[in-house]
Amino acid sequence: MNRVAKLAIVSALSSLAFAGVSRAESLGMNSAPGIEQTLRSFQGNFAVQQYQDWRNIDSMDQFGPRSAPIRDAQEVHQIQASIDANRSLTRKLADQGISVNNVINVEQAADGSLTIFTD
């Protein structure tokens, strides 16, 4: 086999290996432990969405839109504690008039930004 063909094959296999790693990391980024870890050191862009009347909608939607994982009360408290641990994020939320106690869910997008849901 000539050198060009070998190099092409090695490059293709390397690309596949790296694609698998990045995809594996993204699968857990919105899990409770994954989002908590992200929140403790988050310095990027975020958006805040108020989730109207979240206590009175069906159980599949109780803590945010269908794309965001459902969080139980303990996970919500852990998310709030993770935000509290990040003074910069807490300050930015306060500047927008958002209390950490009103945060009910957080979802991370593929670009690394966050959507923070409040009640």
Q: pLDDT at position 64, please?
A: 52
- Could you report the per-residue pLDDT of 15-31, keeping only the tens digit for each? 554 443 333 345 577 78
CA–CA separation, 1 and 43 (whole Å):
49
Q: pLDDT at position 66, please?
A: 56
Sole residue written with tokens 């070998």: 6
92 within 8 A of 43, measured Cβ to Cβ: no
- Could you report the per-residue pLDDT of 33-67, keeping only the tens digit for each? 889 999 999 999 999 988 765 555 554 455 555 56
117 within 8 A of 64, measured Cβ to Cβ: yes
Is 9 strand, coil or helix? Answer: helix
Is 107 strand, coil or helix? Answer: strand
43 within 8 A of 88, measured Cβ to Cβ: yes
Q: Is the pLDDT of residue 108 over 80?
A: yes
